[in-house]
Amino acid sequence: MDPKGYVIPVGEFEAGYERLLAPLAEAGTQLILIEPFLLPIDGGVEAGDALIGEEERRLWRTDLDPKIHAVRELAHKYGAHLRDADAMFAELAAKTWPEYWAADGVHPTPAGHAALAEAWLRLVA
């Protein structure tokens, strides 16, 4: 859930994603999908005028899991490579701390971007 309380329903999320993928797949583009992710950071994070706390992030997690599943299904449907970013970041965070990879749990830090880039390169190499 975003600070204003709006959540994109999973069906709408999947349909919008598919509208982007279908013409690319039809053109023969090799697709690489990256799952959305959420890391369990400690404390609150400011987002504009809102403070996003543990309860909001718990709701985000509940909302995110079906969307991760939708991305996996779309990857399978379109024969795309898939980077399981949620699991990847959970594993990395267990070895360090979540904020190292995404200070707010959502947007990658430079280390998070580097981890995604390395993972992407492993998919295409």
Asked if 102 and 115 count as a contact pair (C-beta separation under 8 A), the reply is no
Domain that residue 65 falls in? 10-124
- Per-residue pLDDT of 56-78, as tens digits, reads 777 778 888 999 999 999 999 99
| pLDDT value, residue 60 | 77
Give pLDDT < 50 ranges for the chain.
1-4
pTM attached to this predicted model:
0.81
The domain spanning residue 111 has which CATH number?
3.40.50.1110
Whether 61 is in a domain gets the answer yes
| pLDDT value, residue 62 | 84
If one counts the domains in the chain, the total is: 1
Whether 4 is in a domain gets the answer no
| pLDDT value, residue 125 | 79
Whether 2 is in a domain gets the answer no
| pLDDT value, residue 48 | 64
